[in-house]
Chain A
Amino acid sequence: MIRVTLKGILAHKLRLALTALSVMIGVAFISGTFIFTDTIDRTFSDLFDNAFSGQDVIVQSETEFNVGFQGPPPFDQSLLDTVLAVPGVAAAEGRAGGFAIIYNKDGDAIVPMGPPTLGSSLSIDDHLLGAAELRAGRAPKGLGEVAIDARTAKDNQLDVGDQIQIQTVTGVSYYQLVGIIGFGATDNLAGATFAGFDLESAQKLFALEGRLSSIQVLAEEGIGSRTLRDRIALAVPEGIEAVTASDEAADQAEALSENLGFIQIVLLVFGAISVFVASFIIQNTFRIIVRQRQRELALLRSIGATGIQVVLMVIAEATVIGIISSAIGIGLGFGFASLITFVMTLGGFELPATTAPLAMRTVLIGGLTGIAVTVLSAIFPALRASRIPPVAALRDVDVRLKRSERARTMLGVISLVAGTAIVLSGLFTNVEVGPINELIAVGIGATIVFLAVSLLSTNIVKPLISLLVLPLLRLDPVAARLASQNSIRQPRRTATTASALMVGLALVATFFVLGDSIKATTGRAIEQSLRADYLVSVDGFGGGFSPLLSEELDASDEIAATTSLRFGFWDLDGSEELLVGIEAETVEATIFLDVKHGSLSDLAAGGVFVHEKTADRSGWKVGTSIPMGFSTTGLQQVEIVGIYGEQNIVQSAFLVGLDFYKENFQGFGTDADVTVAVKAVDGVPAEKSRAVVEKAAINYSNARVRDQAESREYQESRIDIVLGIFNALLALAVLIALFGITNTLSLSVFERTREIGLLRAVGMNRRKVRRMIRWESIMVAALGALLGISIGIFFGVAITAALSRFGITAISIPLTQILSLLIVGVIVGLIAAVIPARRASRLNVLEAISYE
Chain B
Amino acid sequence: MPGDSSAARMQSGIKVYGQNHTEVWALDSVSVQFERGKFTAIMGPSGSGKSTLLHCTAGLDNLTSGQVWIGKTELGSLNDKDLTLLRREQVGFIFQTFNLIPTLTAKENIILPISIARKNPDLEWFEKVVETIGLKDRLHHRPSELSGGQQQRVAAARALVSKPQIIFADEPSGNLDSHSGAELLDFLRRAVDEFGQTIVMVTHDSSAASRADKIMFLDDGRLVGEMPDPTIEDVLDRLKQYGN
Contact = CB atoms under 8 A, between A and B. Distances in A.
Contact of A304 (B61, B95, B113): B113
A306 B84 contact: yes
Contacts of A8: 103
A291 interface: no
B116 A1 contact: yes
A394 B89 contact: no
B93 to A, nearest CB: 6
Nearest to B59: A390
B116 A389 contact: no
A11 B102 contact: yes
Interface stretch (A34-42, A293-301, A612-620, A628-636): A293-301
A295 B98 contact: yes
Contact of B99 (A3, A299, A306, A307): A299
A389 B93 contact: no
A1 B51 contact: no
A303 B60 contact: no
B108 A303 contact: no
B117 A296 contact: no
A389 B87 contact: no
Contacts of B24: none
For chain A, give the interface size range: 20 to 34
Given A300-B116, A309-B116, A393 B98 contact: yes
B93 A302 contact: yes
A390 to B, nearest CB: 5
Given A8-B103, A11-B103, A305 B116 contact: yes
Contact of A307 (B80, B112, B115): B80
A433 interface: no
B61 A301 contact: no
Contacts of B117: 304
A300 B98 CA distance: 11
A4 interface: yes
A303 B113 contact: yes
B81 interface: yes
A306 B81 contact: yes
B85 interface: yes
Interface string A299-319: 111111111010000000000
B146 interface: no
Contacts of A295: 98
A299 B115 CA distance: 14
A394 B50 CA distance: 13
Contacts of B158: 303
Nearest to B83: A390
A3 B115 contact: yes
A307 B84 contact: yes
A1 B95 contact: no
A649 interface: no
Nearest to A10: B103
A467 interface: no
Interface string B95-111: 10111011110001000
Contacts of B162: 304
A295 B102 CA distance: 11
A852 to B, nearest CB: 8
B55 interface: yes
B88 interface: yes
Contacts of B92: 303
A489 interface: no
A852 B98 CA distance: 9
Given A3-B115, A11-B103, A390-B87, A299 B61 contact: no
Contacts of A852: 97-98
Given A3-B104, A296-B101, A389-B61, A304 B88 contact: yes
Interface string A1-34: 1011001101100000000000000000000000
A391 B103 contact: no
B84 A4 contact: no
Interface of A: 1, 3-4, 7-8, 10-11, 295-296, 299-307, 309, 389-391, 393-395, 852
Given A303-B88, A390-B87, 6 more contacts: A3-B108, A300-B116, A301-B84, A306-B81, A306-B84, A391-B60
20 contacts: A3-B104, A4-B104, A4-B112, A7-B101, A8-B103, A10-B103, A295-B98, A300-B112, A302-B87, A303-B87, A304-B84, A304-B85, A304-B117, A305-B84, A305-B116, A389-B61, A393-B95, A393-B98, A394-B60, A852-B98
Top-9 shortest CB links A-B: A304-B88, A7-B103, A11-B103, A390-B60, A306-B84, A305-B116, A303-B113, A391-B61, A304-B87
